[in-house]
A and B are shown apart, each in its own frame.
Chain A
């Protein structure tokens, strides 16, 4: 066992790197998102802010900095009718929960040999947490508090409606989220995210290929949990002004917005780690096992980061191309479509592992179940395409 002080120092460095990178990433993903929006809507987007006091524009890379300074120095207006302690507590809760999620999420494999440290340094803030996946869910359920408290403390009908809707949404979609990963957990026999990556790296077969239905259910639920379009009912500018954070401004609003981006980053991490093999690349590009040199270690980190960036780009693409669901559509999607599909996926995975099917058969069964389940769901509970309210029969 390494002595306590080394472990502590290593852990503190990892925490610092993690928080620093995440905050920077959140800021620059905002810029990326605005570029993406501009590209899709055929505008130019933010391209002016560069180095201050000069004419150098740098494609607008100074924008996140300017945004941050604006948020911090803006007047922080607290309306008189709010419940002050809870009004303050809500953004803090949301951001803390969002940041704490990353304690169990690996951002690489292991480092190469470091002088003075006996064991390989694992690139997770808290290695060896055996309940990693449930821990992520626990923090996800803490994040609900921020939303519901923010809405209630604001003492504003729009905020309150937003909080009510989004709490119902977040709680409902926790179930398909859990069902989506159950297949993966069953296949690997562990809740540790590092183990799940290792299992995929060992077999070379990502769970996206063997459990496409699980991927579908999990991704849809992750979109909903991150409150991204088409599930952004918590905010819903057109109906609720800003949903639960209507009354917030300045740094408190910034905390909410950063937490939202962190949720999206966490969701991308989870999708990549659970279904796209984490740091693993095919054809032996990322080596095997834990005894690796610095080169392989860096290749693994880069592979993971590239996959996550692609996933985030997908999130953004979806945001700017799809309209929002109506609330009843949202709920019936969770309870009538995603929940049964998740159960079907679980049964199929259990079946495959009970009879030890060959990898090819495994993939075939996975896709058959996915396509079959999707067709049956589409036939049995069609999501209403037009937006006219359903007529209730006269009572």
Chain B
């Protein structure tokens, strides 16, 4: 056990305790302590992060790193807020914030299409539907058991351990990358990557989707079609033949 591993362990433990205290458990006690713990854990992970970064020393690199850090913190804090809020509408809004952060991270890495697609699909379609249902379904507040998180301790622990292990794995793989000389193939791929990202980004993506991944696209399309047909069948399934189709204005 070297110093780094101990720090990782401490960060994970602190994160687990913080998350558990923050989750809605039916009592308000220790919530702010939980926030403090979670922030401490985030700080520890952040302290470990610079050693994982191999950027060269320049103003541009520093600015880029700051942007990355900002986006990452926004994403993580919003995600924590999503699971610890007691009001489902607030949870949904924080989730949207987290999605915006994620999309910013994608954009920062040059994945333009993925970034906007995340917003269009998740924030624009799925989450708005969630909000719709939440607002329509619970006009008079929520039942007590709906406000509690189930198995708070177990889920907080599992989540924190997952994050810790993943971070450690990435850290160690980065270190081994540093010591190992780069292979020719790896160098070629890093040379090619910026070209693909900068020029005709969407065209490249489309060409890949419809040549290399054609079967996957077709299968997903079929799945979506099945879901759509299912939705229509559920809506109009048990309607008597004497019923006239109604206008769409009864939402």
Contact = CB atoms under 8 A, between A and B. Distances in A.
Interface of A: 4, 86, 89, 128-131, 134-135, 137-142, 144-145, 148-149, 152, 160, 164, 167-168, 171, 174, 189-191, 326-332, 335, 390, 392-393, 395
Contacts, number: 98
Contact of A89 (B93, B112, B202): B93
A353 B47 CA distance: 56
Given A148-B131, A190-B203, A393-B242, A138 B247 contact: no
Contacts of B128: 141, 144-145, 148, 167, 171
Interface string B111-139: 01101110110011100100110011000
A138 B119 contact: yes
A191 B250 CA distance: 36
A390 B251 contact: no
Nearest to A330: B249
A390 B250 CA distance: 13
A141 B120 contact: yes
A35 B126 CA distance: 41
A354 B89 CA distance: 48
Contacts of B142: none
B123 to A, nearest CB: 7
A167 B123 contact: no
B175 interface: no
Interface of B: 59-60, 89-90, 93, 96, 112-113, 115-117, 119-120, 123-125, 128, 131-132, 135-136, 198, 200-203, 240, 242-244, 246-251
Contacts of B116: 131, 134-135, 137-138
A161 B124 CA distance: 20
A326 B248 contact: no
Closest 7 interchain pairs by CB?
A141-B124, A328-B249, A328-B247, A331-B248, A138-B119, A130-B201, A393-B244
Contact of A138 (B59, B93, B124, B135): B124
A129 B123 CA distance: 20
Nearest to A384: B247
A314 to B, nearest CB: 28
A89 B242 CA distance: 48
Contacts of A142: 119, 123-124
Most chain B CB neighbours (cut-off 10 Å) among A89, A328, A332: A328
Given A137-B124, A331-B249, 4 more contacts: A4-B60, A130-B113, A130-B202, A145-B131
A164 B251 contact: yes
Contacts of A190: 200, 202-203
A190 B240 CA distance: 48
A337 to B, nearest CB: 12
A189 B248 contact: no
A89 B131 CA distance: 15
Contacts of B119: 138-139, 141-142
A148 B120 CA distance: 16
A276 to B, nearest CB: 24
A152 B125 contact: no
A143 to B, nearest CB: 10
A141 B125 contact: yes
B124 A131 contact: no
Contact of A332 (B120, B135, B248): B248
Contact of B132 (A137, A138, A141, A148): A148
Given A130-B201, A138-B116, A327 B249 contact: yes
Nearest to B127: A145
Contacts of B243: 393, 395
Contacts of B113: 130-131, 134
Nearest to A152: B135
Contacts of A130: 112-113, 200-202
A137 B242 CA distance: 41
Given A141-B120, A395-B240, A168 B125 contact: no
A395 B3 CA distance: 75
Contact of A137 (B59, B96, B120, B131): B120
A130 B112 CA distance: 7
Contacts of A140: 124
Contacts of A174: 124
Nearest to B139: A160
B247 A390 contact: yes
A311 B243 CA distance: 44
Nearest to B240: A395
